[in-house]
Structure 1
């Protein structure tokens, strides 16, 4: 197994961008170029090439389209997380691909960004995932939750999420809401005037109390419970 990525001395987030559509890659690259703290270090047009590029460049983040030839983004995500564990994975998605999110979660993706989303949202998502946070584009989160079930099913999921979050302390709910909004531990600490180590403790307690294994699943619960204002 490849050893974890070394820290970049310049502090910038290094990114692998993979999408089989040239114009999509060009558009996303142009958006990210507006952020001096993000550098696209490699591009790929299929999943297999994305895995090879991750092995060579060991980027902070791999931003992968779900549907690609040779090997799709989900297959590439699984291999990258296994072979280059220092690289976080975010998926580029569309509303028609919500069914893939459960599998993407299972293989270790921590970000879900819309191809046609707000440019600032794209930059914020890349930075959040690079910092170890989970990031669900708000429009993606709303749509996913709506697709999980209509009518009484949806209401029952909302009620279940609220019941789970009601068991948390006020501070834990604050932390969960900020986690759901895509903030890193350091950003949550700054927002709540806490030290980062204390926030890590709260996050661990929240995950345990909710019975989830990662920040993305906790973020979905935060959205379902109405704790994230953009939901």
Structure 2
């Protein structure tokens, strides 16, 4: 997403009333725009490929294949598009499956409006959001598990070899900070910041900075 542009969002939920409510809330924000809607997982993939949005708010349980499967397809086709899972059910397995599929966030449908909007803005800048108690517990289990997760491409050889500075940069990425903000906070040049991010992505076997943050959280490299 370019600086100053609106966050372009696709809504995927089988309940028309939910989509209408979300569209109303999002479209009145000066920095957000709903560009498409879908009521099934298959439609979600189709609409997302058509509009190439910045973000998809994806219901987990929809007719046809699940929102998790749609998330995996979207992330494979459009790695720059961020998928955020929406659900009424605060279930650990959904968090596990969502992270493995490439989702950058997990929001309960009863999340208050201000928290949802701030979360969307943070995730659009590269942060992750798994803030329910169940999601945090699931993340803790992932972080403390000694079993290698076959759903990631983490370079295990390098996991303990992030430098102190790279770890600081990764933590700031997890907070949703932009390159110039990281540079200011750490008193380094923006070019040096970009180099650190490049090394982090390489060492973690990630495709981009968002996936690097997700991996970092899962491997307990950041808070």
Shared topology, TM-score over 0.5? yes
The equivalent residue for 1:41 is 35
Aligned to 1:220: 218
With normalisation by structure 1, the TM-score equals 0.70
Q: 2:183·2:190 contact (CA, 8 Å) conserved in 1?
A: yes
Report the alpha carbon displacement of residue 165 of structure 1 after superposing the two structures with TM. 8.6
Corresponding position: 1:137 with 2:133 = no
Preserved CA contact (<8 Å) 1:176 1:206? yes
Cα deviation per residue 1:40-69 (whole Å; 9 max; x = unaligned)? 111111111111211222212111111111
Aligned with 1:175: secondary structure? Answer: helix
How far apart are 1:193 and its partner, in Å? 4.3
In structure 1, what is the Cα distance between the partners aligned to 2:108 and 2:180? 25
Provide the residue aligned with 1:160 in structure 2.
Answer: none
TM-score (normalised: structure 2): 0.72
> How big is each residue's C-alpha offset from its partner over 1:183-211, in whole Å with a ceiling of 9 and x where there is no partner?
344443344344443223223434555x4
Distance 1:25 1:114 in 2: 14
Output the CA distance in 1 between the equivalents of 2:85 and 2:181: 22
| Gapped regions of structure 1 (runs ≥ 5) | 1-6, 158-163
Following superposition, the deviation at residue 109 of structure 1 comes to 2.3
Alignment-derived partner of residue 19 in structure 2: 25
Per-residue CA distance 1:22-81 (angstroms, 9 max, x = gap)? 333233334323531110111111111111211222212111111111221112122223
Unaligned runs of at least 5 residues, structure 2: 148-157
Q: Equivalents in 1 of 2:62, 2:54: separation in Å? A: 21
> Structure 1: how far apart are the matches of 2:52 and 2:85?
17
Question: For residue 62 of structure 1, what is the aligned residue in structure 2?
Answer: 56
Aligned 8 A contact 2:48 2:56 in 1: yes
> In the alignment, which residue of structure 2 is the partner of 1:107?
101
Q: Distance in 2 between matches of 1:95 and 1:147?
A: 19
CA distance in 1, matches of 2:35, 2:43: 14
CA root-mean-square deviation: 3.4
